[in-house]
Amino acid sequence: MSVDKTEDWLFEISSKKRAVDFNLKELWHYKDLLLLFVKRDIVTFYKQTVLGPIWFVIQPLITSVIQFIIFSKIASIPSDGVPYFLFVLAGNIIWFYFSDCLKATSETFTSNQNIFGKVYFPRIIMPLKVAVSNLIKFVIQFVFFLGVLIYYLYQDTPITLTPYVLLLPFLLLVIAFIALGAGMLISSMTVKYRDLNFVITFGISLFMYITPIVYPTSLVLEKIDPKYHQLIYLNPLTGLFDFFKFAFLGSDCFDFGAILYSVIFSIVIFFLGLLVFTRTEKSFIDVI
């Protein structure tokens, strides 16, 4: 009597995959692992601290206060009729979400090489958990921002809330796509070139000052020749930051063309980063 030795395998792990193997079914299967990583990131951030989650608020608060003193009181930079502290606070909470996602994602392979070498799970889980855990951090900072906003509204400050505030989830999705896409590209390169981590840390700090956080875009447009105005919007974050400030503060204005460019840019860089990331994950453990 012959015995059928064929078996039905639940998973097959192989280095031979499609160029982009974004297996949503597999990601859903590992959803509990994603939530576990997110919980770990949040808990370890404030574990054994006195202030706990309040530390999430201290970062944008202190940064905004320093910027208020230097750029408003000393440099006298305008803020389109909006209280300057509120103006920079709005930019900072968006910026910290972007920069934290970009920095953490760019270190995916180097910071997780030990766990990647021991156990299998979809590697894309790590960039995704960065976006989710930083989203929780953003929510806490956003609640603080709303508190400050309500205070100024109570003081009859000329601030205009627009219906565009309802598009905040879409705005965050576009920003997350840009940060994760760029981060995955950088992470794939740091597998061979470790010193890129230092360049990225320095580059993020510089990139902050070509993004309209401490100054309105309208100020830059006034200072440069009109034929160079489109160069301002080469930064895909410019239109997004202007949109956020317009939606919640009624400051400045935003360009629909810039928003469209940011959306297209986010999609392209995310899938390009995903392509390079999935190709790198197959062999990075032999290189790192």
The model's pLDDT over 104-151, given as tens digits with 9 standing for 90+, comes to 888 887 777 777 767 777 778 888 999 999 999 999 999 999 999 999
Question: What is the 8-class DSSP label of residue 192?
Answer: T
- Other Cβ atoms closer than 10 A to 89: 23
pLDDT at 179: 95
Q: What percent of the chain has pLDDT over 90?
A: 39
Cα–Cα–Cα angle for 100, 104, 109, nearest 5°?
A: 170
Residue 18: how many CB atoms within 10 A of its CB?
A: 8
Tell me if 177 sits within 8 A of 270, measured CB to CB: yes
pLDDT at 205 over 60: yes
Residues belonging to the chain: 288
Of 150, 141, 165, which Cα lies nearest the Cα of 247?
165
d(Cα 251, Cα 87) in Å, to the nearest integer?
A: 8
- 């193997």: which residue's tokens? 21
At residue 214, φ and ψ (nearest 5 deg) are: -90, -5
Q: How far is CA 53 from CA 104, 105, 212, in A?
A: 19, 22, 27
Q: DSSP assignment of 112-127, as one string?
A: SHHHHTT----TTHHH
pLDDT band at 16 (very low <50, low <70, confident <90, very high): low
22 confidence band (pLDDT: 50, 70, 90): low
Mapping DSSP onto H, E and C, the string for 49-110 reads CCCHHHHHHHHHHHHHHHHHHHHHHHCCCCCCCCCHHHHHHHHHHHHHHHHHHHHHHHCHHH
For the segment 70-117, what is each residue's pLDDT rounded down to a tens digit?
999 898 898 888 899 999 999 999 999 999 999 988 888 777 777 776
Nearest 5°: the CA angle 172, 177, 181 is 150
155-165 confidence digits (pLDDT tens) = 878 888 889 99
